[in-house]
Amino acid sequence: TIGTTFTTGYILASNLASIGGEIDPIFGGATFTIAIMAILVVHEMGHKLTANKNRIEATPPYFIPGPPPIVGGGIGTFGAVIVQKSLPPNKDALFDIGMSGPISGFIIATIVTAVGLTMSVPAPPVKEATILPTPLIMIFIGELLRIGGLVPVRPQGKVLYLHPVGFAGWVGIVLTMLNLLPAAMLDGGHIARSIAGDKARTVLTIVSVALLLISDFWLMALFVLFLAMQRHPGPLDDVSSLSTGRKIIAAVLIGIFVLSFPIF
């Protein structure tokens, strides 16, 4: 995964250099790798440490390499996964397992995004440039940095392109949004299962798939449908209710989901 993410960052930086951006492809590859791996590691370790705290048997994180941009617009990784080998003891533990990764990853992705935006690369505009849908949190961060004078000045006749680190932050934020969908066996699915039960989670899965299709996340929609074929086992104690504090955190998670949703 380190190799495929470095290749991704190297290609992204090389593309910027080829149109006149002042960026070293090797530096771009290395910083992209550090940024994207930091987001993945913190997200998965949030799950792992929470599992350990609740005495839930779980594997270490498995990192999944993916194709670089030259193959279908890849980003060098399919993320990471931890496999739980035992059930959470109660709904509180199930909720904690689901929310720990997205909250941890969102914090790091926000920091990475801020750093990446300050590294934006001025270069001449090109018709082939891709315009990414922008999450609300990224717009807010960019505006704060602009007010603070921390975003590079755009020279006349040039535009600002995302540095590979900024792209890693964008990926991390969008992955947070996708993970928080209240569907199937996603992190949001665990949260929904702990709050509303299995029947409600099934309805929310259908709604999530429809939202993904409307938003052109076709592959993710198919992935969620595949995951939905497996019934959520729930916690060992499926009778006790969720604590009030965690219900408040659930509202915060909805806010994070909205802030992370990419819009044009």
Task: Render pLDDT for 26-51 as a digit per residue (tens, 0 to 9).
Answer: 999 999 999 999 999 999 999 999 99
Res 23: pLDDT: 95
Q: Which residue has the tokens 């505006």?
A: 143
Say whether pLDDT at 129 is over 90. Answer: no
Q: Tell me the one-letter amino acid at 119.
A: M
**pLDDT tens-place string over residues 197-248:** 778 888 999 999 999 999 888 989 998 988 888 888 889 999 999 999 999 9
**pLDDT tens-place string over residues 9-31:** 999 999 999 999 999 999 999 99
State the pairing for strand pair 134-135/121-123.
Answer: unpaired
Burial class (CB in 10 A: 0-12, 13-18, 19+), 153: exposed
Smallest Cα–Cα separation from 88: which of 99, 76, 80? 99
Higher pLDDT, 79 or 72: 79
How far, in Å, are 159, 209, 253 from residue 205 at the CA level? 40, 6, 17
Res 72: pLDDT: 60
Distance CA 113, CA 111 (A): 5
Distance CA 182, CA 232 (A): 12
Say whether pLDDT at 108 is over 70. Answer: yes
Sequence-ordered list of residues with C-beta below 8 angstroms from that of 37, at least 6 positions apart, any chain:
1, 2, 5, 63
CB 151 within 8 A of CB 117: yes
Res 100: pLDDT: 96
**Residue 107, number of CB atoms within 10 A of its CB:** 17
Across the chain, what does the average pLDDT equal? Answer: 93
pTM over 0.85, yes/no: yes
**Average pLDDT value for residue range 101-115:** 97
71 pLDDT tier (thresholds 50, 70, 90): low
Sequence-ordered list of residues with C-beta below 8 angstroms from that of 71, at least 6 positions apart, any chain:
none
